[in-house]
Every structure is written in structure tokens, then in C-alpha cells.
Amino acid sequence: MIRYCALLCLSALLLAQNAAKTAPNNSNVPVYTSDGRLVFPANYREWIYLTTGMDMDYNPDPSMAGHSMFDNVFVNPEAYKVFVATGTWPDGTMLVLEGRMAANKGSINKAGHFQTNDVMMRSVHVKDSRFDGKWAFFGSDDEGKPTKQIPKEAVCYSCHDQHAAVDTTFVQFYPTLLEVAKSKGTLSPAYLKDEAATAGASAK
């Protein structure tokens, strides 16, 4: 869910991509073309909304200086129900990250920021046993064409492996699901180590 990670992954994908148009995916399960490209789930905004972050970055991008962006996260309803019951994600989970430009001037607004119609990026984090490591990242261009899997060498994979709270997903930023994971005992050792280090630094 970190912008820098997502943008790097998306850039790596779009540089290599040359996909043909196909019918949109309006189902709640992963749909692939015959050559393994993911058909972007066009109905993702009808899914379960998990969280919104603003300007979240662990390695600031100079090109975004002076700009703000909201990161919205949605998950398919079937996966959400399983997580609430078990604290883990089932096969077929799809998490969509949508980045929208922020603005502070408009209508009657006098303070703070709101989301605009400018979608800056979209990416999909898919859990499917067909993938090495069970999880894969896919980007999405403006036209919603089917996209290739982002290569495993991309930084998003190592970042999620090393810091995600549950099963390579940033549940630590999904406030309602974080409590579920705590109650189910499914928090990752890597996340608990990060939390201990942060608590230790704060205590000094």
C-alpha cells in the first residue's frame, strides 16, 4: 500500500507491456487471458472498502514533490468474509490499490484535502496458487487492458515479504482488519519485529 513501491512495480510492468483489448472482468474472481495476463476487475469499486492513506511513502519520490495523492484499497467480498472469519486470505483474493490525486481548492472547501477524478495509478495484488509464492502483482493502464504479472524481482515483492502484517499484505494499514488479525493470532513475525523496533525507538 506504499506509493513508492506501487509506482515502481507499475512502471516495471508498463515498460514491458503490449496487451490487446479484451472484455472487462466484472466478476469477483481473478480472470486471466490465455497467455496469463490478468483482466482488470472493472467493478472493484463495488467491493469492500478497506482503507485510505494519503502521501504514504517509505522512500519519497521527487517527481511527486508538491503533489498529494490518496491511496484507496478495495478487496473482493468473498475474500473479506474469509479474512474476518479466519484472519487469513483465501486463494482468489484480489486487493486493488487506487491512487487518486488530492486537491484542497474546490466547491465550499476551506481546509484539508479531498479526492479528485484524476486516477494516477491502479494495481492489483492477487493470491492464486498458480503463482510462485502464491501472490502476484499486476498493474493497470488507463484503458484497463489485461496486464502481465509484475516480475518477481520488483521491489514490491520484497517490501511486502519483509514488512507486511499478514500474508504479504499491509493489514497494519487496514484498521478494522488489523484487530481481526490480532484476535486470530495471524500477525507475521516480520511485522511484530518492526513493531518492536518502532516501540523501542519511541521509548528512547
- Which of 155, 146, 153, 102 has the alpha carbon at shortest distance from 124? 146
Contact 140/123 with Cβ under 8 angstroms?
yes
CATH topology of domain 3-150: Chalcone isomerase (3.50.70)
pLDDT score for 107? 81
Q: How confident is the model at residue 58 (pLDDT cuts 50, 70, 90)?
A: low
Torsion of CA 8, 37, 145, 169, to 10 degrees: -40
pLDDT score for 68? 85
C-alpha cell at 23: 472484455
Radius of gyration in angstroms for the set of CA atoms belonging to the chain, rounded to a whole number: 17
In this prediction the pTM is 0.81
**Residues forming beta bridges with residue 119, ordered by sequence position:** 100
Contact 99/119 with Cβ under 8 angstroms?
yes
Q: How far apart are CA 28 and CA 92, in angstroms?
A: 9
Domain ranges for the chain, please list them.
3-150
One-character DSSP codes across 71-117: EEEEE-HHHHHHHHHHSSPPTT-EEEEEEEEEES-STT--SS-EEEE
Q: pLDDT digit string (tens) for 78-123?
A: 999 999 999 999 999 999 999 877 777 878 877 887 656 777 889 9
Instruction: Calculate mean pLDDT across residues 31-40.
Output: 95
- Which of 135, 115, 158 has the alpha carbon at shortest distance from 8? 158
Neighbouring residues of 79: CB distance < 8 A, sequence distance ≥ 6: 89, 90, 92, 93, 94, 127
Q: pLDDT digit string (tens) for 164-199?
A: 999 999 999 999 999 999 999 999 999 999 999 988
Contact 143/21 with Cβ under 8 angstroms?
yes
